[in-house]
A and B are shown apart, each in its own frame.
Chain A
């Protein structure tokens, strides 16, 4: 099977430096973060900057940070954007009111603790009450995402390996968090028992991104070994290892991954400057799109596509331009 995806349009004004994260929200806007330190919300229909209807006259977009923004997590209702900077300043932006509702300096040493472990990757829980963060020493930390005590530590658990945590992500049901490391390990953390329950070791090189399927049964990892691996997280790592499929085809590091809202298609961006769409059931690439530079982040439109159409996604990469793509023959 082969599908065609067309370049629909770009954001009206490029970021001044690479786009390192994009997220297509429920409200059909796209939030993007950049190496230039800025975070933006753009309308998916026009690519123009977006302020919500009925937003206050003093609706504000956070001013650019001095260092790049490396991690972005948007709530399923599209109301909050959690984001983290290169040195570990974690912030919460209310997309509806424009208010910055929280800021936490994860690089500061906390009372009674050893050295600080600045956050790298952050992920908002689906309920919005907590967020998970991964840093340089292999710990997964759960913190409050409530404005009243934003950043307050709830728990921190060591994954077993003192290695750089590249990505963490809450499962859609909020019960687990996936954590991936610079040496390729993928860990599954169970929130209720506050323990790591699985470790997958199919990659030996950095896994920069992980994505959950909507039903929370599958996890897709993107690695510098040029492959994506699909894991069935219901299978314990002990028995058959948990990996159920390998997607090869990229000629350089795979930098990001996403799974479509109907669970049928995987999406990946790579340092080989291309984006690939993968059919999960047949384990094959069904579309390749060429971009101008490294593709750091991809995100499916969260609304399931109309019957007969294959949906749309947004990408962000080295050239600083947020780009919208849609399946050929489909309107957005």
Chain B
């Protein structure tokens, strides 16, 4: 790290780890040391010239990122783009027809939505920006979400779709409240505007999904849930508590994959012939899209009526 600062050559935490694998033994050791040093010096990790390798990706043609190097990352509706490290970003550009921002917990769900062109789909309420941190988000992804939360007009809702299990809610909490390990940087990275869209176990019957699709909880889920239920109210809202309590009682959790599986064919046959075959096909083949159609419309309408100018 000293070298990186003196020579002004940025390193990533991964680079540091590989310098002496037998000494560090585990990537997390390096991560912790870097964070501790930064905190002790009251600096940001980037001030020490240690950059994060990014794993977050986004999708959506309304969004572009201008890098300090002069390059531009233009968002695309059918292919993902990598989210660059915060310190490499000069500025963002958002088209005025962006209507919603959706963070999804898992890469698999993100890819499904990307393939469906969800960021620009006739059945969804306007153009959107899809983001995933592929699980627990890294600094670059959280930085992007925080910037969007600070800069976008309130008429554009920013929502998160996570599994109905303790880890999903914890990931939502990292975006919204910040992570417990990096308290000193929280001022920069807690995006309070992020709203919880779902998936809630309680909404599944309304979507025609059988209880049998719910997955049994594991001992890890139990321990994690009980631990999270001990958190203070400012980072564990009543609605989240209720979901975790019901999850423990049902002994089942709702994973978003439930919505990705093909619709039961007997349900499809009741639809009859439709005048809009290809869009309807999408809905029938992807309950996920139907779910987003319903939920995004609710959030967008609500945000626009609450904050829109008359």
A134: interface (CB < 8 Å): no
Instruction: List, sorted by A's number, 17 A–B pairs whose CB atoms are closer than 8 Å.
Output: A17-B242, A17-B245, A18-B246, A20-B249, A35-B246, A35-B249, A67-B245, A70-B249, A86-B226, A86-B248, A86-B249, A87-B226, A136-B219, A164-B251, A206-B251, A252-B210, A271-B211
Residues of B within 8 A of A83 (CB): none
Task: Map CB proximity to B onto A29-45 as digits: 1 under 8 Å, 0 otherwise.
Answer: 00000010000000000
Are B211 and A182 within 8 A (Cβ)?
no
Instruction: Say what secondary structure dominates the interface of chain A.
Output: loop
Q: How far is the CA of A242 from the CA of B211 in the complex (A)?
A: 29
- Residue A316 is within 8 A (CB to CB) of chain B in the complex: no
Q: Which 5 A-B pairs have the closest CB atoms?
A: A68-B245, A87-B226, A86-B248, A35-B245, A271-B211
The smallest beta-carbon distance between A209 and chain B, in angstroms, is: 13
Which one of A66, A86, A252 has the greatest number of beta carbons of chain B within 10 Å?
Answer: A86
Interface check A253, CB cutoff 8 A: yes
Residues of A within 8 A of B249 (CB): 20, 35, 68, 70, 86
Tell me, rounded to whole Å, the shortest Cβ–Cβ distance linking B216 to chain A. 8
Alpha-carbon gap, A136 to B242, bound state (A): 22
Q: Which residues of A contact B34 (CB under 8 A)?
A: none
Interface residues of B in 204-246 (CB under 8 A from A): 210-211, 216, 219, 222, 226, 229, 242, 245-246
A262 to B147 Cα, complex, angstroms: 68
CB under 8 Å from chain B, chain A span 160-187: 164, 182
B211 touching A253 by the CB < 8 A rule? yes
Contact with A along B157-199 (1 / 0, CB 8 A): 0000000000000000000000000000000000000000000
**Residues of A close to B242: CB separation below 8 A:** 17, 35
Q: Mark A1-39, 1 if CB is under 8 A from B, else 0.
A: 000000000000000011010000000000000010000
Q: Which residues of chain A come closer than 8 Å to B211, judged between CB atoms?
A: 252-253, 271
Taking residues whose C-beta sits less than 8 angstroms from the other chain, chain A's interface range is: 10 to 19
Residues of B contacting A271 in the complex (Cβ-Cβ under 8 angstroms): 211
Compute how far the CA of A66 lies from the CA of B246 in the bound complex, rounded to whole angstroms. Answer: 14
Given known A67-B229, A253-B211, A271-B211, contact A86–B245 (CB-CB < 8 A): yes
For B219, the closest partner residue in chain A by CB is A136
Closest A residue to B246 using CB positions: A35
**Within the complex, what minimum Cβ distance (angstroms) separates B224 from chain A?**
13
Contacts of A70 in B (CB 8 A): 249
Q: Can you name the residue of chain B whose Cβ is closest to the Cβ of A18?
A: B246
Nearest CB on B from A95, distance (A): 24
- The distance in angstroms between the C-alpha atoms of A243 and B248, with both chains bound, is 30
Min CB–CB distance A110 → chain B (angstroms): 19
CB of A274, distance to nearest CB on chain B (Å): 14
Contacts of A17 in B (CB 8 A): 242, 245
Which B residues touch A253, using CB under 8 A?
211
Give the CA-CA distance A47 to B29 in the complex, in Å.
60
Enumerate chain A residues within 8 angstroms of B226, measured Cβ to Cβ: 86-87
A20 to B251, CA, bound (A): 14
Q: How far is the CA of A259 from the CA of B181 in the complex (A)?
A: 54
In the complex, which residue of chain B has the Cβ closest to the Cβ of A86? B248
When distances are taken between beta carbons in the complex, the residues of chain B under 8 Å from A87 are 226, 229
Contact status A182-B251, CB under 8 Å: yes
In the complex, what's the smallest C-beta–C-beta distance from A312 to chain B, in angstroms?
Answer: 27
How far is B248's CA from A67's CA once the two chains are assembled, in angstroms?
11
Q: Give Cα distance in the complex from A233 to B125, angstroms.
A: 60
CA of A35 to CA of B229, assembled, Å: 14
Chain A 61-105, CB-CB to B under 8 Å as 1, else 0, gives: 000001110100000000000000011000000000000000000
| Chain B proximity of A225: nearest CB distance (Å) | 10
- B216 cross-chain contacts in A, Cβ below 8 A: 182
A190 CB to nearest chain B CB (Å): 28
Enumerate chain B residues within 8 angstroms of A86, measured Cβ to Cβ.
226, 245, 248-249
Chain B nearest Cβ from A63, distance in angstroms? 17
Q: Which residues of B contact A136 (CB under 8 A)?
A: 219, 222
User: What residues on A are CB-neighbors of B248 within 8 Å?
Assistant: 86
- Inter-chain contacts of B210 with A (CB < 8 A): 252
Q: Knowing that A20-B249, A67-B245 touch, tell me 8 more A-B residue pairs with CB under 8 angstroms.
A: A35-B242, A35-B246, A66-B229, A68-B245, A87-B226, A136-B219, A252-B210, A271-B211
Q: How far is the CA of A68 from the CA of B226 in the complex (A)?
A: 12
Q: How long is the Cα–Cα vector from A70 to B226 in the complex, in angstroms?
A: 14
CB distance from A85 to the nearest CB of B (A): 10
> How many angstroms from the CA of A182 to the CA of B219 in the assembled complex?
13
Give residues of chain A (172-222) contacting chain B, Cβ–Cβ below 8 Å: 182, 206
